[in-house]
Structure 1
Amino acid sequence: MVQYCRKCGKELDDDAEFCDSCGFDLNTNPTNEENKSEISQSNENKSVETKNDKNEFKNKLPLILAIIAIVVGVGEGLGTPMLMGWTSIMSSMAIAIIGGLIGIYLMEKMNEPVIAAAEFIITGVLVYMFIGRFGEISAVLFIVAAILALYFKGMNINSKKLWAIPILTFVLIFVLLIAGGALYQVNSENSIAVGNVTQNITDGGFGYYSGDVSGDIRVDSSFDYLEVTVNYYDDDGKVIASTIGWNELHPDSGKTYKFKGTYFNEQAPKTAEIKVVDSAKSKTPFYTENITIVTSSGV
């Protein structure tokens, strides 16, 4: 009986076990071989698909993290206490949104991971500068997004001209901040008046001095928050006590308020400083007055 090679088709003797042309094993079950081949090919396809899925996820990870940073930045801004100043809060949220979106556009549309990373880092730093520890998480997320963009998307720079974008972002924010801050400071100083300041610090005779410095503050403009702080100093100019004499969210324009900075300490204060600020981190008060303390005996 004549048989043929199932692989190359050559006519063979009926008792042949191998093809003398291609070497095919005639005892091999063709169905099993085909199944093995199909299974092998299927496994290879699955391996390639899995690898592609992992690569795609890694490629999208900087984008995902940047989006999360924007959302967290807005959430942190909304959760920041008003005493940080509404201007700072709004600025931090605007920077998180605009800076984050610019970074995403540079990374995804312009294929500029290095410049996008610089934009993310600048955005995170600016958010932290405006609201401090209340913006720590979003700042860290922006910086991590920058690192991942460099790691997964490479260090290529296609257009050096685009470096102007993160640089201008940084410069523009600070120009607006300085100009707006200067104007706000002048207007605020002209809208606050402190008067009728009195002091009443006495020696109680038990090794402690107590009393207060009090007065009036008139507000003639709209503020999100105002605070009167009274600091007490010793002979060497060192602060020995500090107290908030008054604070108010959205104080009424045209209204006069009373403040009182209480004192209780073993040491007699020599001077006191009255400061009016609009946030806990303000370094430039709207009003400052220094007075000499005359201690009386309460015995």
Structure 2
Amino acid sequence: MVQYCRKCGAELEDDAEFCDSCGFKLDSNPIDDKQNTIPQKTTENMPVENKNEFLTKLPLILAIIAIIASIGEGLGTPMLMGWNNIMTAMAIGIVGGLIGIFLMEKMNEPLIGAAELIVTGVLVFMFIGRFGEISTIIFIISAILTLYFKGMHNNNKKLWAIPILTFVLIFVMLIAGGALYQANAENSIAVGNITQNITDDGYGYYTGYITGDIRVDTNFDYLCVNIDYYDSEGKIIDSNIGWNDNHPDSGNTYKFSSFYFKENPPAKAKISVVDSATDNTPLYTENITIVTSSGV
């Protein structure tokens, strides 16, 4: 009896087990065999999808934006914050940001890189305050996204010394530099020739002034002479600025004057010199007792 291949239709020998034409095994189903010959896709051979490539690169992009923002914010910070603080904030933003990028991209240490970015943002804010808010926020967001997209593993625990030393080093420099600056600044100003003239004008008010000289012997970004008036119980009854200047010239002597006009007679006044509008530690203070006279 002649038999034919169920797959290709070729004529076969009676006892043939395989088709001489197509190699089909005669006792199998051609449909099943066709299905078996279709290559199955495996997850091992599938190419890595790159549709989320932008998201995985977002931490790097934000870190670069934060570095640029810290430079722009530093250049836009008012000089009353101090040129040294401004330069330090920009240097921290650049160096700290680049170290964070190196750790998360080249060293494959996302956890330590994220810590470095957070430390960098905090330090920038420490030096220029609200003027560095944007870069600080972007640094922190970049750190959070680094942990989210790249995981929280670290392969070399010794690298933790980088963000820790960054913070400690800047903190020590800040304290040492602040103490040294305070000592030098205090020795670089002198106040003298203070005069007072507060009188009772006879109409229920006390009027007059306090004047003096301030000599500047070094370069300051900003200086201000404040005069606070106190009553006999030690309460402040009036405050005003006797003199202030951006970048006063070293070696010059300036006049300051404070005008008083109140119903209550002042018992004393405190003259203080500060180098920042937000600094609570004066470079110089002097208390004087006020003797009022009758102008009637």
Q: Do Structure 1 and Structure 2 share a fold, with TM-score over 0.5? A: yes
Please name the residue that 2:160 is paired with.
Answer: 163
Please name the residue that 2:98 is paired with.
Answer: 101
2:156 is the alignment partner of 1:147: no
Instruction: Report the CA distance shift for 1:136/1:240 in structure 2 as closer, same or farther (over 3 A).
Output: farther
Higher helix share: 1
- Counterpart CA distance in 2 for 1:104 and 1:210 is 63
- Counterpart CA distance in 2 for 1:254 and 1:195 is 15
Please name the residue that 1:274 is paired with.
Answer: 271
- Counterpart CA distance in 2 for 1:204 and 1:135 is 50
Q: Which among 54, 57, 60 is matched to residue 60 of structure 1?
A: 57
Instruction: Calculate the aligned-residue CA RMSD, in Å.
Output: 2.9
Q: CA-to-partner distance for each residue in 1:175-222, whole Å, 9 max, x for gaps?
A: 112222222222221111100112233344554444332210011112
Q: Which among 231, 234, 247 is matched to residue 234 of structure 1?
A: 231
Q: Which among 7, 10, 20 is matched to residue 8 of structure 2?
A: 10
Please name the residue that 2:280 is paired with.
Answer: 283
Instruction: Report the CA distance shift for 1:23/1:96 in structure 2 as closer, same or farther (over 3 A).
Output: closer
Task: State how 1:1-299 maps to structure 2 within 5 Å.
Answer: 10-11=8-9, 21-22=30-31, 52-53=50-51, 55-299=52-296
Q: CA deviation at 1:165?
A: 0.5
Q: CA deviation at 1:282?
A: 2.1
- Counterpart CA distance in 2 for 1:138 and 1:210 is 49
Q: What amino acid sits opposite 2:173 in the alignment?
A: L
Between 262-271 and 276-285, the greater mean CA deviation after superposition: 262-271
- Residue 114 of structure 2 aligns to a residue whose secondary structure is helix
Instruction: Report the CA distance shift for 1:209/1:141 in structure 2 as closer, same or farther (over 3 A).
Output: farther
Structure 1 segments of 4 or more deviating over 6 A? none
- Counterpart CA distance in 2 for 1:264 and 1:112 is 65
Q: What amino acid sits opposite 1:11 in the alignment?
A: G
Q: Any stretches of 5+ residues in structure 2 without a counterpart?
A: 11-28, 34-40, 42-46
Please name the residue that 2:37 is paired with.
Answer: none
- Residue 261 of structure 1 aligns to a residue whose secondary structure is strand
The answer to whether the Cα contact below 8 Å between 1:125 and 1:139 also exists between their aligned partners in 2 is yes
Between 232-241 and 166-175, the greater mean CA deviation after superposition: 232-241
- Counterpart CA distance in 1 for 2:235 and 2:88 is 35
The answer to whether the Cα contact below 8 Å between 2:7 and 2:30 also exists between their aligned partners in 1 is no
- Residue 11 of structure 1 aligns to a residue whose secondary structure is coil
Instruction: Report the CA distance shift for 1:203/1:71 in structure 2 as closer, same or farther (over 3 A).
Output: farther
Q: What amino acid sits opposite 2:8 in the alignment?
A: K
Instruction: Report the CA distance shift for 1:193/1:148 in structure 2 as closer, same or farther (over 3 A).
Output: same
Q: CA deviation at 1:273?
A: 1.6
- Counterpart CA distance in 2 for 1:183 and 1:222 is 15
Q: Identity rate of aligned residues, in percent?
A: 69
- Residue 197 of structure 1 aligns to a residue whose secondary structure is strand
Q: What amino acid sits opposite 1:10 in the alignment?
A: C
Between 251-260 and 232-241, the greater mean CA deviation after superposition: 232-241
Q: How many residues align?
A: 268
Instruction: Report the CA distance shift for 1:127/1:263 in structure 2 as closer, same or farther (over 3 A).
Output: farther
Q: CA deviation at 1:292?
A: 2.0
TM-score by length of structure 2 reads 0.80
Q: CA deviation at 1:130?
A: 1.1
